[in-house]
Amino acid sequence: MRTIKIIGSLVLVFAAAACGGEGAPSGGAGTSKPAGSSAPAGATTAAAAASSIDLSSGGAEFAGLSVMGAAGAKAASDGAGGVSVAFGNYQVSVTPGKPAIADMKSGAKAGAESVQGKITFIKDTAEELEYTTELKDVTGKDVKTHGFAVTLKVGGKTYGCSCADATNADDLAKAKAVCQSLAKK
């Protein structure tokens, strides 16, 4: 079920991008990395204004877990054992256990191929995947989307955190920062 959801979601992301669903520019506040911060380079300084997002709506596996993200964002069960948080231009998903890196890689590749796009894998390990797809929308405009999955350990348990639909580098950095903020409340 999880494999079908991952591949289906990726195909929908690529199809939406091919139809011009690139998303609005994020317009984040700066892009510098604060000194001593564990946030990825490019994470916006607006992250300081982020609020805690309770993940317990994903079920018992997520009770007591939260991520930091834009105020007003809500978590919801994804129907396949995980929890997702939508942030306007992108969505972050958290799942129990290691992320299905091989499934995500094959789904991203199949999605790019289905719209005659190009995919570049930036990181490809057993613990982490990151990629960029390039394709043309229906008007012929170049479109890029970014995705990743990472393995995280919180409270002695393993979780996967991923995003398959960041439409620009700023949103990719924000999604990574959300994942890295996964913590026990």
Residue 8 Cα to chain centre, angstroms = 15
Q: Tens of pLDDT along 124-147?
A: 999 999 999 999 888 989 999 999
Say what the pLDDT of residue 14 is.
Answer: 38
The domain ranges of the chain are 2-21+42-184
Predicted local distance difference test score (pLDDT) of residue 176: 96
Query: Please, what is the Cα angle at 81 between 77 and 84, to 5 degrees?
Result: 35
Quick one: CATH architecture of 2-21+42-184?
Answer: 3-Layer(aba) Sandwich (3.40)
Rounded Cα distance, 166 and 174, in Å: 9
**HSE-CB of 58 using CA atoms within 13 angstroms:** 25
pLDDT of residue 115: 87
User: Exposed (0-12), middle (13-18) or buried (19+): which is 100, by Cβ within 10 Å?
Assistant: buried
Nearest Cα neighbor of 92 from 74, 80, 107 is 74
∠ CA 131-137-141, rounded to 5°: 95
Could you list the mean pLDDT of each consecutive 10-residue stretch along the chain, which spans 185 residues? 40 38 35 38 50 94 94 91 93 95 93 91 95 90 94 96 93 96 94
pLDDT at position 18 is 36
Q: What is the pLDDT of residue 1?
A: 42
**CB-CB contact of 13 with 145 (8 Å):** yes
